[in-house]
Structure 1
Amino acid sequence: MLYIKKYSLLALSLISLSVAAQKEKPLFDGKTLTGWKAVGGAAPYKIEDKMIVGTMVKDTPNSFLITEKEFGDFILEIDVKLEGETTNSGIQTRSHIKPDGGKETVFGRQMEIDPTPRAWTGGIYDESRRLWLYPLELNPSARSLYKKNAFNHYKIECIGNETKTWVNGVPAAYVIDTLDQSGFIGLQVHSIGSNLENEGKKVYFKNINIKTENLKATPFPKGVYTVNYTPNTLSEYEKKEGYKLLFDGKTNNGWTGAYKTEFPVNGWKIANGVISVEPSGGAESTNGGDIVTKEEYTAFDMSFEFKLTPGANSGVKYFVTLSEKNTGSAIGLEYQILDDKLHPDAKLGRDGNRTLASLYDLITSKKEDRYLRPIGSWNNARIIVYPNNKVEHYLNGVKVLEYTRGSEEFRKLVAISKYKDWKNFGEAQKGHILLQDHGNKVDFRTIKIKSL
């Protein structure tokens, strides 16, 4: 009887080990490319020393080696070495192919591998679609994790709508996205254009293992910023971090008209999870007028999505005190919302300081076209006001300006701006958040804030 019990326990142990082993499966057997296929550009992939090796070739588009099978929820771990310090690579997740003039174009979320001084390894990029979702400027502490010209270990967790990344065991990026519940996994050799310096450089992929069953989400530590593309929704992580919604997606709760006791009867519309300024000919605050939060804020981290119509103008203001009792738009520091190409305001002011994401009439946002999404698409904005009065503006995850309220430099800029006649402009200890009515249709949603 004792022997049978021991045998039974041994059998159960072996079964448990077998089940545990099944949880993690190799995507690459070290010998063949069975289950994989090359798409996109012409960069070759071959097997060397039990590794998949991709080689950079000039004058060819991004090249991918993709799984023939599609995956939904999974945890992927992989070791990658990228030669060079001006090159690039990445791992596609839940991705797809679209016909593109006789070519096959890969699109979908990608974990970035970036050895350049920009150092965005571990960030999340939406290949051939929305572009950057999570640049590593949103998690600066992760930018030093990458080891140049060496193998780095990456973990990518896709469970439900959440995608998380780790670089060498440290959390890097956190995106919640409603697109693509399944798709293929891909290994990228990035295009090098006609750059002869990088021709022939290689990317090495090894130890490619995936789990698809009995998955358990790995918790992120406190303080990692989350990009959440679920409209007007906070994740449990965001709630624990202290964020709250300023717009619930359904009502005007928490908002009122600037210099008014009620929310405007006309000029603003709430429908389909969006709060919109109604068009009225482009005049400033002549229809519904600006709206402001009922609460006031001091130091905070605020994010929102906005969508412009062609030629539109609006803004999000902060530290609005409503003490000036002025006509027109209420006074405050303004994150400019503008169609830079079609609205004439982009050419006014000084050195472009009235363009999109600028501190209106004071500081020009430094942005590249590749970080912008087209007019009619949702863009992400973020404003951080630290307790020491340092302020940062972000556009689609990229920091485009910073300044310090009340500093000598700030006051010099105010002195040569349209705000020069307002005493202590922008230096109030607290104020309301304002959405501007500039007479053009502009949509807002997912407005969230965390007090610092």
Structure 2
Amino acid sequence: MINYKSCLWAVLFSSATMVAGLTGCSQKVEQSSADTDDWTNLFDGKTLDGWKRVAGEAPYEVQDGAIVGTTIANTPNTFLVTEQEYGDFVLELEAMMDSNESNSGIQTRSHFDPEANNGKGRVYGRQVEFDPSERDWSGGIYDEARRGWQYPLTLNPQAQEAFKVGTYNKIRIECIGNTTKTWINEVPVAYIVDTIDASGFIGLQVHSVGKAEHAGKKVYFRNIRIKTTDLEPTPFPEGVYVVNNEPNALTPYEQENGWKLLFDGKSTDGWVGAHKKNFPERGWEVAAGALTVLPSGGAESTNGGDIVTTQKYSAFDLSFDYRLTPGANSGVKYFVTLSEQNTGSAIGLEYQVLDDERHPDAKMGRDGNRTLASLYDLMTADKPNRFLRPIGEWNKGRIVVHPDNKVEHFLNGIKVLEYVRGSEEFRNLVANSKYKNWENFGEASEGHILLQDHGDRVSFRSIKIKELK
């Protein structure tokens, strides 16, 4: 009997068979011809027939059965793209990078704008990232030259070590319908549902380099094959977070993993006014798939007032899209008990939703702890500007409360803070905040989710929750 745990799988592709070799073992397994007949090679191992270089001047050449791209200074990102476009497909290949100072990736369903970049052209579309830098986001999804990061690996940190530098990595990409899923060395990495780009070309990237000493770095691609018929989605294991860009929708995978919508895009079912039995008769509206608090001069809870979920939650994973108008203020609160006898907005831990540039609250508090995605008046969000989407566009917030009381805030997939409810550090923060007079603030065992009426127009959609145990 073969001891599979002691053997290292290496996967080699050819046009006829795929052989799974067990390094140090004598046995091999060949796939049936029925399986391999469905695949088409995109690279013949000898020429660049069927491919063309666009957007930059970095060279691509064939060496020892691989396409090799080399970085050069003073040129933008350079792509080798297929002459043919593809819709639904499964793509498999092997890729290697010779340095963790380089960056590369695979474009999927992408496009070329020949007029952009002063006539040099620009490639845009979803890219499966090869990022062996310290952050290790290889296999994540980046929207090249358009929307930026869609699936950074802060959303799936267990996959961050899958990609290895200096050796060939097995890459699998499934684009079926609106869904893109990625694997590196058989490790499931990213899962995104998107609503744009039903077809486009496939491309290989040589990233631009900012320093002359980074020129000469190489990226290798080989055994590139595609399947476009009789496609069956490969299951992902339980617990991988899905970035779902289809408004107010859940995939079957999400539903099977315990996710539920808190807003269906059509009604206010499941929500009532804070301290009320019914949903507010004014001050909120449901339109165009969004739940919107209407403007009333910027005052706190003086129009329709806050709204809360009818259900209470303890440990959970909560995601929501929000859209701000210029100068707007709102928030998503959690562990709201409605037991405090206060005026204004109901009391609870708050994920701040704010236009930092225009609203004065951003400059109040301490050290920016009232800015966007912060734990309001307690802890400041560490959010790089490149991950912020402009006012008027949809952004993605996420709050994860673990069963051990660790809490994380995310913004557009990036973790911006974490803390532990009830810890000494947390209680010290409370003691120096506006909440210091509320006993055991933020430490309730359960509470409502709240959307705040702060008198400004702010919209929410795709509000989904998964209870954690």
**Which one of 104, 107, 117 corresponds to residue 89 of structure 1?**
104
Q: Which residue of 1 aligns with 2:309?
A: 293
Q: Which residue of 2 aligns with 1:156?
A: 173
Shift of 1:419: 0.7
Q: Which residue of 2 aligns with 1:31?
A: 46
Structure 2 counterpart SS, 1:181: coil
Query: Contact 1:177 / 1:230 at 8 angstroms: preserved in 2?
Result: yes
1:430 pairs with 2:446? yes
Q: Which residue of 2 aligns with 1:369?
A: 385
Q: Which residue of 1 aligns with 2:163?
A: 146
Q: Which runs of 5+ in 2 are unaligned?
A: 1-30
Query: Contact 1:257 / 1:291 at 8 angstroms: preserved in 2?
Result: yes
Q: Which residue of 1 aligns with 2:25?
A: none
Q: Which residue of 1 aligns with 2:80?
A: 65
- Deviation per CA, 1:233-270, whole angstroms, max 9, x where unpaired? 11100000001000011000000001111111111110
Q: Which residue of 2 aligns with 1:129?
A: 146
Question: Superposed, which structure 2 residues align to 1:205-224 within 5 Å?
Answer: 205-224=221-240
Number of residue pairs matched by the alignment? 436
Question: Superposed, which structure 2 residues align to 1:329-340 within 5 Å?
Answer: 329-340=345-356
**Which one of 178, 203, 206 corresponds to residue 189 of structure 1?**
206
Structure 2 counterpart SS, 1:137: helix
Q: Which residue of 2 aligns with 1:251?
A: 267
Query: Contact 1:84 / 1:198 at 8 angstroms: preserved in 2?
Result: no
Q: Which residue of 2 aligns with 1:11?
A: none
- Return the alpha-carbon distance in structure 2 between the equivalents of residues 366 and 251 of structure 1: 35
Query: Contact 1:96 / 1:108 at 8 angstroms: preserved in 2?
Result: yes
Structure 2 counterpart SS, 1:144: coil
Q: Which runs of 5+ in 1 are unaligned?
A: 1-15
- Deviation per CA, 1:165-217, whole angstroms, max 9, x where unpaired? 00001111100111111110000111112x12211111111111100111111
- Return the alpha-carbon distance in structure 2 between the equivalents of residues 369 and 44 of structure 1: 33
- Return the alpha-carbon distance in structure 1 between the equivalents of residues 442 and 456 of structure 2: 25
**Which one of 305, 317, 337 corresponds to residue 321 of structure 2?**
305
- Return the alpha-carbon distance in structure 2 between the equivalents of residues 62 and 284 of structure 1: 48
1:346 pairs with 2:362? yes
Structure 2 counterpart SS, 1:381: strand
Query: Contact 1:259 / 1:325 at 8 angstroms: preserved in 2?
Result: no
- Return the alpha-carbon distance in structure 2 between the equivalents of residues 447 and 139 of structure 1: 20
- Return the alpha-carbon distance in structure 2 between the equivalents of residues 272 and 215 of structure 1: 34
Cα distance change on mapping 1:17 and 1:318 into 2, 3 Å? closer
Q: Percent identity?
A: 65
Q: Which residue of 2 aligns with 1:321?
A: 337
Query: Contact 1:245 / 1:448 at 8 angstroms: preserved in 2?
Result: yes
Amino acid at match of 1:102: G
Shifted more, 223-232 versus 19-28: the winner is 19-28
- Return the alpha-carbon distance in structure 2 between the equivalents of residues 40 and 161 of structure 1: 27
- Deviation per CA, 1:11-50, whole angstroms, max 9, x where unpaired? xxxxx97654331111011122111111112111111112
Shift of 1:370: 1.1
TM-score by length of 1: 0.95
| Bigger fraction of residues in helix | 1
- Return the alpha-carbon distance in structure 1 between the equivalents of residues 82 and 325 of structure 2: 39
- Return the alpha-carbon distance in structure 1 between the equivalents of residues 415 and 129 of structure 2: 18
Q: Which residue of 2 aligns with 1:410?
A: 426
Cα RMSD after superposing both structures:
1.2
- Return the alpha-carbon distance in structure 1 between the equivalents of residues 375 and 423 of structure 2: 15
TM-score by length of 2: 0.91
